[in-house]
Structure 1
């Protein structure tokens, strides 16, 4: 088997590591399994491990008469065995195609989101890849109800795919990064740098100025004074993006920048994606301070559900465990 040590990519004289442990939550659904192909592509490029996880979360709904008959006896053991057998089947399918790929399986008793988050911490995963919804062949689909919790609490980036997206190879030839000048959003830039180094991707840096109201002065109407504020803000953003692009270009990455005016940030990002050939949007789950105090966290949810491409959401910083129940 290949070494699972992370291959190193050089950025401007510094060495950056790719993903070594990628975790994929599965619920037995065809939609859930759509995360496997992108996860495998990333794992192979990184020579990393693939970790498949599922959960036995709760007893099924029973009539009082069923409970009195003791029909719940052994249910967790039976369900656990079924989940474990499903994960093993998936592992075997993957390794039939690629015997050198390291695949590990994990089944847990507990709530799906806490089970996923605990496994992220236990294996020190540096990426989660999952769909936003699932329809389970096991009859117990849960991905749709837990994706938000995983995104909100995970200590590592989460790559989210919508099940209604066409099933196609992960396209990282061009990556779009949403930036607002905050430290949180620039952590998203770090992930884009990592992928660009591993895949040779071109990068689009995008900042959005909401209109008709100024972000800095939200109560101004569409007057000449408001327009002057927007022009100043736009100039500040252009300068910021140019500085950011310079560091990427010095590392050999091809970069384009754009400052977009739109009704709101999601509309601006969706418009930019429509005009772009980007196959991935990278953004932070939160944004605060920096240029004009834009709040990326307020739009991440909309982008996850509306973007025509997969979305890689990045936590603003390594957080203490927030796992519940």
Structure 2
């Protein structure tokens, strides 16, 4: 690493798509690194492993002693080197230390700097194994980032990188943002070369008290429509299926579905999000509590994706 706090490992290729992974030297950081590695391997992307340290502006909480700053930077380099040693030698990677007012702010700035298509972070510590618990960093990212954010569930580090991405499930409703999400899902499917499952959330989006027959007809029509649109946009031979959510609640619908090892879920930002930014809505929040697989949240009105 140079004085600016950046080090590029050999093999890094600026022509590759890039994924930023927010790294911390704990289990959450290991989970984020594991998920990012799987995504990078499947899409042949470069990993930018980023540690964010408090900026000098936070002098009220960070000692200004030069010796302390030198020690903190040196320790961060050691942690990054240890993380790098765990990565597959074939994964292009760069290691970076950045300073920012917050961890989330540093990751967003890094994603802009590198032109990254995705930010990956781990769940907060203390969550249920296989589930995602949103901590302060993930919460800030999921309510402000203009780059898609992937949240690695607790225990993701236990899944071998060779598993790759076994399937992509895109959760589509009838509200604004569904079209953007479908476009992103198609591009991600091409990039990761994985089967695509379209999950229609229309039954749960429909007004309560709606005639059951009409609700079923509306749901089936929506599933058929998005399936046809996806098949038209994907290369021949890509396996594409559509399912309709069942259950009285989002949580029940998630529990009723089968989930593959190595699967990822795409959801759109809330309609309350400002254009081109994330805002984790109530539907996605409810899904997140039940999902046993990683979730990627896509900004509203944007075409960016991990591709």
TM-score if structure 2 supplies the norm length? Answer: 0.75
Distance 1:227-1:181 versus aligned 2 partners, 3 A rule: closer
Distance 1:60-1:132 versus aligned 2 partners, 3 A rule: farther
Q: In the comparison of the two structures, how many residue pairs are matched?
A: 274
2:122 aligned to 131, 137, 143, which one?
131
Separation in structure 1 between the aligned mates of residue 157 and residue 290 of structure 2, nearest angstrom: 14
Distance 1:165-1:87 versus aligned 2 partners, 3 A rule: closer
Question: Structure 2: any 5+ residue segments left out of the alignment?
Answer: 1-10, 127-133, 273-278
1:79 aligned to 52, 72, 75, which one?
72
- Superposed CA RMSD in Å reads 3.3
Counterpart of 2:223 in structure 1 is 238
Separation in structure 2 between the aligned mates of residue 152 and residue 183 of structure 1, nearest angstrom: 17
Distance 1:55-1:4 versus aligned 2 partners, 3 A rule: closer
1:121 aligned to 107, 112, 120, which one?
112
Separation in structure 2 between the aligned mates of residue 265 and residue 48 of structure 1, nearest angstrom: 33
Question: Structure 1: any 5+ residue segments left out of the alignment?
Answer: 7-19, 63-70, 136-142, 289-294, 320-325
Distance 1:105-1:48 versus aligned 2 partners, 3 A rule: same
Secondary structure in structure 1 of the residue aligned to 2:27? coil
TM-score if structure 1 supplies the norm length? Answer: 0.71
Distance 1:167-1:236 versus aligned 2 partners, 3 A rule: same
Higher-Rg structure is 1
Distance 1:166-1:118 versus aligned 2 partners, 3 A rule: closer
Distance 1:184-1:217 versus aligned 2 partners, 3 A rule: closer
Distance 1:192-1:238 versus aligned 2 partners, 3 A rule: closer
Distance 1:23-1:217 versus aligned 2 partners, 3 A rule: closer
Matches within 5 A, 1:1-325: 1=11, 3-6=13-16, 20-57=17-54, 73-74=65-66, 75-91=68-84, 93-94=85-86, 97-98=88-89, 101-134=92-125, 144-165=135-156, 167-169=158-160, 170-182=163-175, 184-210=177-203, 215-218=205-208, 220=209, 226-248=211-233, 251-273=236-258, 279-287=263-271, 297-318=281-302
Once the two structures are TM-superposed, the CA of residue 60 in structure 1 deviates from its matched residue by: 8.9
